[in-house]
Amino acid sequence: MKNDTKNAPIGVFDSGIGGLTVAKELIKTLPGEDIIYLGDTARVPYGTKSGRTVIAYSRSNTEFLISKGIKLLVVACNTASSVSIPSLKAEFDIPVLGVIEPGAKKAVEVTHKNKIGVIGTPSTINSGAYTKAIENLNPDIEVISKPCPLFVPLADEGWVEGEIVERVAEEYLNPIKNSGIDVLVLGCTHYPLLKNTIQKIVGEEITLVDSAQETASQIKQILVNKDLLNDSKTSSERNFYLTDVSDTFISVAGRFLGEKIDKIEMVDIVGTTAQPSL
């Protein structure tokens, strides 16, 4: 029974394809683990929706992944992580990890000035989840946060460097840069793609924290601690499911994952699962 569980895949969901940046780090850190990725492309974006709606979406994504026999759930979406982790942990009987706690932990480790910046979608920033997670670890740390909504469509378009994105980045980041922070958390799946531009605008003296990298190492730790590491092989199987597939998806998805995706399956969880009552 234990071996069956060890060999089971890790489930990852995101509101869309941005979570492939987390899958990419998982593949690097845990090359022997099978991964099932669900991108809720039919209902993206989550970053501008209410917490109640995002929790309902997260629940149906989790039900789908659990039906595929996953041993651990990774909520790769920062927005979903910031509002739905307590509900998912209470409702489902598998280990659940979001990206907020790992990102917060890393930021607290690297700050010297006790002043951390956090950028994310409006929903993530409004939830205050990063601020709470950082203050839980060290109440003396001051957190300065800022929503950067235009970064998501820019990354989706592949506009990650150049004059236009730099102009947008300056507008968002100049106030936060001048507030005395020494660490900036990239609190959104899409922002690692803009890392070079963000670093250029804030300057080398500010350390960027990528939640995706830290999440992957924490997942490894959880699997080791629970004796759930798949040590039976060195290569892995990856299955990608989307709730809607657009023409441009394959090329955009390849950019996020950093490798070509050969096969994507479409799944209809949207029409068959309960929608939030409004």
93, 49 in Cβ contact below 8 A? no
**Cβ distance 201 to 169 under 8 Å?**
yes
* 171 to 200: interface string for ligand DGL, x by CB under 6 A: -----------------xxx----------
199-258 residues in contact with ligand DGL (CB under 6 A) are none
CB-based closest residue to ligand DGL: 47
Torsion of CA 38, 255, 190, 134, to 10 degrees: 80
Closest to ligand DGL by CB, 25 vs 228, is: 25
Write down the residue that tokens 């942990």 correspond to. Answer: 89
Coil vs helix vs strand at 53: helix
Among 44, 133, 201, 212, interactor with ligand DGL by CB under 6 A: 44
Q: Contact between 78 and ligand DGL (CB under 6 A)? A: yes
Give the binding-site size for ligand DGL (rule: CB under 6 A): 17
Q: Residue 15 to residues 4, 105, 178: CA-CA distances in angstroms?
A: 29, 23, 32
Residue window 95-134: x/- pattern of binding to ligand DGL, with contact defined by CB under 6 A:
--------------------------x--x----------
Quick check: 267 and 242 in contact, CB under 8 A? Answer: yes
Q: From the CB of 79, what's the least distance to ligand DGL, in Å?
A: 4
Residue 148 known to be catalytic: no
| Whether 116 contacts 87, CB under 8 Å | no
Footprint on this chain of ligand DGL (rule: CB under 6 A): 14-16, 18, 44-47, 77-79, 121, 124, 152, 188-190
Active site residues: 77, 188
